[in-house]
């Protein structure tokens, strides 16, 4: 049987949030790159290497550590069952949160904090958050593949 419409909408929302978070991060990183008075090396490390490494660590841990994977699967299932991500409002709220986080990441740079050696922390944390979002998008597919769960997802 075909998957229920609500599940397809929920799955699409997971993908949309990953895309919006990545685009918002990219826009913030490009603005930071333009505004930062640092050499290319430190910019690259703070805006790409550290966040990329944390994205990878978060993704690998979320998909391989049994406890974390179980917590994320439970969170996804509860979110689906309560209707989150299945209405325009909930999707807009999720997308809005990531846009606000991108603004938070760039705010100190635009207001004179570019010389603070800690400025890259927000970008690294955002990278780790994107890693968790990618893990959730992958886990949504695992839920679909599980025969016991699939029965509950079919229309």
Q: 3: helix, coil or strand?
A: strand
**Count of domains for the chain:** 1
Beta bridge partners of 58: none
pTM: 0.86
Torsion 33-38-39-44 (CA) sign: negative
Nearest CA among 130, 141, 140, 142 for reference residue 58: 130
Q: What is the pLDDT of residue 118?
A: 57
Can you give the pLDDT at residue 115?
60
Tens of each residue's pLDDT in the chain, 155 residues:
688 888 888 999 899 889 989 999 999 899 888 887 778 888 899 889 999 999 999 999 999 999 999 999 999 999 898 887 777 787 778 778 878 877 877 777 776 655 665 566 788 888 999 999 999 999 999 999 988 888 888 86
* Contact yes or no for 95/20 (Cβ under 8 A): yes
Full domain range(s) for residue 81? 5-153
89 phi-psi bin (left φ>0, alpha ψ -120 to 50, beta other): alpha
**94 three-state secondary structure:** helix
Phi first, then psi: give them for residue 154, nearest 5 degrees: -80, 145
Q: Is 15 exposed, middle or buried (0-12, 13-18, 19+ CB in 10 A)?
A: middle
d(CA 44, CA 38): 10
């Amino acid at each position: 049987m075909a998957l229920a419409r609500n599940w397809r909408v929920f799955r699409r929302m997971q993908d949309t949030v990953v895309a919006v978070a990545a685009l918002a991060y990219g826009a913030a990183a490009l603005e930071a790159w333009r505004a930062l008075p640092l050499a290319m090396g430190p910019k690259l490390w703070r805006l790409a290497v550290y966040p990329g490494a944390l994205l990878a660590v978060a993704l690998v841990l979320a998909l391989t550590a049994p406890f974390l994977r179980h917590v994320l699967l439970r969170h996804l299932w509860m979110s689906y069952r309560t209707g989150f991500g299945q209405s325009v409002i909930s999707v807009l709220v999720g997308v809005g949160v990531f846009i606000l986080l991108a603004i938070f990441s760039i705010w100190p740079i635009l207001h004179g904090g570019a010389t603070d050696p800690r400025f890259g922390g927000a970008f690294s944390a955002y990278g780790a958050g994107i890693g968790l979002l990618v893990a959730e998008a992958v886990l949504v597919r695992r839920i679909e593949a599980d025969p016991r769960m699939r029965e509950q997802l079919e229309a």
